[in-house]
Amino acid sequence: MRVSPTSPDLVEQGFTVFIISWKNPDQWDRDLSMDDYRRSGVMAALAAINTIVPEKAVHGVGYCIGGTLLMIAAAAMARKRDPRLASLTLLAAQADFSEPGELGLFIDESQVNFLDDIMWETGYLDGRRMAGAFQLLRSHDLIWSKSVRQYLQGQRSTMTDLMAWNADATRLPYRMHSEYLQRLYLDNEFADGVFEVDDDAVHLSDVKVPFFVVGTEKDHVAPWPSVYKINRMARSPVSFLLTSGGHNAGIVSPPDHPRRRYRVHTHQPEELMLPPDDFLDQTPVHEGSWWPEWLTWLRARSGNKAKPPAMGAPSRGHAPLYDAPGRYAHQK
């Protein structure tokens, strides 16, 4: 296959890519905690990668709650002087939850107690409840205009890849979701430096690798000014990129997508942080997708192209189990 030198595809550009396929929890997973997700998710995946590709540092990438979990894992690794991360890329992911935007309307002590009662019965938070809350935040775009088009005007929307992916809601286990809301949204433990991992308080300032952080202009889940606060917490360079679009469409933004734009600024730890309004005023706008910008950033922090490893490592206990996308993608 002929590869374009400007293709945004990481595999085509010579990167070896590993993706975590998360299990959709059910009632039997009710007691899984945030730390279970860190240990059995992030750390177990990293151990498998280190087995398949030995002695290679990893460019970690996390999206939304996965990005928050990755930051916590990276901070815990830094406290233990674990060198297996080369950089962190965070997509619409918050570290400081003091100003979560409109989503904060749904998260207070009474709402958390209400959700706890619901989850106690089922063992998990149903993805439809989460999706409903997100739709209410953008009710004009996601509820009313859709209803007007479909039911009053009789115009049926053609399903796209992004719409199908967005409709594939996932669940969260009782204990993990309760901890996530209480410890991060309500108590803001991670930003305040009191979030404990293995009985040791961790903070983002412990992490010494560079960050590439993406926020989106119309994000109703992780508002970009909230995501932008990472510049105040980190003690290593942060390349913050703000792109047009929302929480999903702004991230899934291939180069042929029309009407996309972005601006990017790298903040050094010894510099004063630009306030959000100054960032908007002083940072030039670039037309097009942000993907090639990230590819350039990754390439500058990676080694030369190497022959990709074989699929899995059967001799080391990591034989392939299923064809892509794996069994978890077919769970209901």
Burial of 102-113, coded b for 16+ CB within 10 Å and e otherwise, reads ebbebbeeebbe
Report pTM: 0.86
Total count of residues recorded for the chain: 332
- Report residue 116 as tokens: 């706890």
Q: Which CATH number fits domain 31-304: 1.10.3470, 3.10.450, 1.20.1250, 3.40.50?
A: 3.40.50
Q: Where are the domains of the chain?
A: 31-304
Q: If we measure between CA atoms, which residue out of 82, 275, 94, 265 comes closest to residue 181?
A: 94
- Report residue 15 as tokens: 């990167």
Radius of gyration for the chain, computed over Cα atoms and rounded to the nearest angstrom: 20
Contact 262, 290 (CB under 8 A): yes
d(CA 207, CA 10): 25
Contact 25, 124 (CB under 8 A): yes
Q: If we measure between CA atoms, which residue out of 180, 220, 179, 227 comes closest to residue 204?
A: 227
Residue with tokens 């996308």, as numbered in its chain: 325
Contact 14, 111 (CB under 8 A): no
d(CA 213, CA 88): 8
Residue 276 phi, psi (nearest 5): -50, -45
d(CA 162, CA 249): 8
Could you list the pLDDT tens digit for every one of the 332 residues in the chain?
233 344 568 888 889 999 888 888 888 999 999 999 999 999 999 999 999 988 899 999 999 999 999 999 999 999 999 999 999 999 999 999 988 776 666 566 776 676 777 777 788 777 665 554 444 334 344 444 555 556 666 666 676 676 666 666 788 898 998 898 889 988 999 999 999 999 999 999 999 999 999 999 998 889 999 999 999 999 999 999 999 999 888 999 888 888 899 999 999 999 999 999 999 999 999 999 999 999 999 999 998 777 778 887 887 888 888 887 778 777 77
Q: Could you count the other beta carbons within 10 Å of the beta carbon of residue 176? A: 24
In DSSP notation, 167-192 reads H----EEHHHHHHIIIIIIIT-HHHH
Q: What is the pLDDT of residue 41?
A: 94
Active site residue 303: no
Q: What is the pLDDT of residue 167?
A: 66
Query: Which residue out of 32, 42, 64, 298 is catalytically annotated?
Result: 64
